[in-house]
Amino acid sequence: MKKNVLIIGAGAVGAVVAHKCAQNSQVFGSICLSSRNLENCQSVIRSIEARNYRREESFQIFARTVDASDSAQVANLIRETGSHIVINVCTAFVNMSVMDACLETGAAYIDTAVHEDSSVMNAPYPWYANFEWKKREQCAQKGVTAILGAGFDPGVVNAYCAYAARYEFDSITSIDIMDVNDGSHGRFFSTNFDPEINLREIIEDAGCLEDGEWRTFPHHSRTTDYVFPEVGEKKLYLMGHDEVHSLSKHIKGVETVRFWMGFDDHYLRCLEVFEKTGLLNHEQVTTSCGQSVVPLRVLKACLPNPASLAPDYTGKTCIGTLIKGRSKGENKEVFIYNVCSHEETFADVGSQAIAFTAGVPPVAAAMLVAQGDWDVKGMANVEELPPLPFLKLLSRLGLPMVIRKDTKADASAPSELICA
């Protein structure tokens, strides 16, 4: 039986998820795209209909309003739509209410980022253990599949690590996830996904596992340079990121797990102005007119809608994992990565590459759940699942994995296309 899917969130990532589901209507039954804002959903559906994807006759897609922070509302919508799988690409503040609705109804749950409490900055380590992992037992008892962090990073990079652990290494000692966007959107300043989530995470302390110890550093206080395939040398900054925590628990023997992101100087100058003037404050302030407002939400309202960047976006992203360890008695390093072109993703689904890289993997995960490969009847982070079906499917969906074994090479050094 084809599986019905409920997508929660109709932002830039939700739009990619909906498009990719529509492109793969052989797997899915009905698709319900839901959001607090119905017009956002309808706009995505109009875009899908304008594209005339080849579709199964039985396939249908429709829009619904939902407040995803209200678990009962989500459960009702799951029941009403007969959804078997929920893809949660809404703000990370609602993960737990959506997961509770899945536990109540038995639907499979897939998300792309760890839960956050909107009132807490620098959420205390251990991140997954504060919220999601507390429900692990319950998922197993009820036989509810819950795939955590199935975007690109976390998500695909976790699968790269699982692949490396199975096929490239006898033991892994160090993982450096590196994420750069060499694209240009032509705006003065924009985030590439929800500014509220993005700007919060960027100014949080950078937590990492180093030499077996959990360490934290002030944001943007540690940098490294790396010569990436295709996009060349980039300056990267240490950041805390969901997968650093789960990989540190699930990749046996690993001593170092770090996440690095590329930022250009203009972006950092703007960020400094926002931060130092208090515009990234997530707590209410009172204006001289007596209105209570959250500055970060106002900044978000001023910034471009990330979904609007796509038509003008040029260039590429490169996201990968530099993995070090031992293989056949020798030290070994590999860089496993994907390069994604903003123009190509726009041609494919009308979105920029950052939304595309985040939105395609949960669709691949949903397809694997629908087909049984990943329908594990319990909770799992991506690195705990068999990587090959996921990586092969991602190649077909537009995110091919490449492996470079000469990791100190220049940008044009040859790489090996895997899982194509």
Query: Treating both helix axes as pointing N-terminal to C-terminal, what angle do 71-81 and 95-105 enclose, rounded to 10 degrees?
Result: 50
Closest distance to a copy of itself from the beta carbon of 145 (Å): 30
Q: Is residue 417 involved in binding a copy of itself (CB under 8 A)?
A: no
Member of 38, 129, 298, 409 binding a copy of itself (CB under 8 A):
298
Of 301 and 411, which CB lies nearer to a copy of itself in the complex structure?
A: 301
Asked if residues 104 and 53 have their Cβ atoms less than 8 Å apart, the reply is no
* Of 19, 13, 57, 54, residue with least CA distance to 35: 13
Residue 11 Cα distances to 16, 47, 73, 110, angstroms: 9, 13, 20, 17
Member of 297, 326, 392, 405 binding a copy of itself (CB under 8 A):
297
Residue 155 gets the label, from left (phi > 0), alpha (psi -120 to 50) or beta, of left
Q: Is residue 52 involved in binding a copy of itself (CB under 8 A)?
A: no
Closest distance to a copy of itself from the beta carbon of 57 (Å): 37
Closest distance to a copy of itself from the beta carbon of 266 (Å): 10
Q: Is residue 285 involved in binding a copy of itself (CB under 8 A)?
A: yes
Of 4 and 97, which CB lies nearer to a copy of itself in the complex structure?
A: 97
Contacts with a copy of itself: how many residues (CB under 8 A)?
28
Residues whose CB falls within 8 Å of the CB of residue 179, separated by 6 or more in sequence, listed in order: 153, 259, 260, 261, 262, 317, 319
Q: Which stretch binds a copy of itself (CB under 8 A): 141-149, 158-166, 273-281, 324-332?
A: 273-281
Residue 310, strand partner residues? none
Q: Is residue 288 involved in binding a copy of itself (CB under 8 A)?
A: yes
Q: Which stretch binds a copy of itself (CB under 8 A): 58-66, 131-139, 147-155, 266-274?
A: 266-274
Closest distance to a copy of itself from the beta carbon of 363 (Å): 24
Q: If 0-12 CB within 10 Å is exposed, 13-18 middle and 19+ buried, where does residue 36 land?
A: middle
* Of 204, 175, 148, residue with least CA distance to 324: 175
Asked if residues 211 and 248 have their Cβ atoms less than 8 Å apart, the reply is no
Q: Which residues bind a copy of itself (CB under 8 A)?
A: 188-189, 196, 269-270, 273-274, 276-279, 281, 285-289, 291, 293-295, 297-303
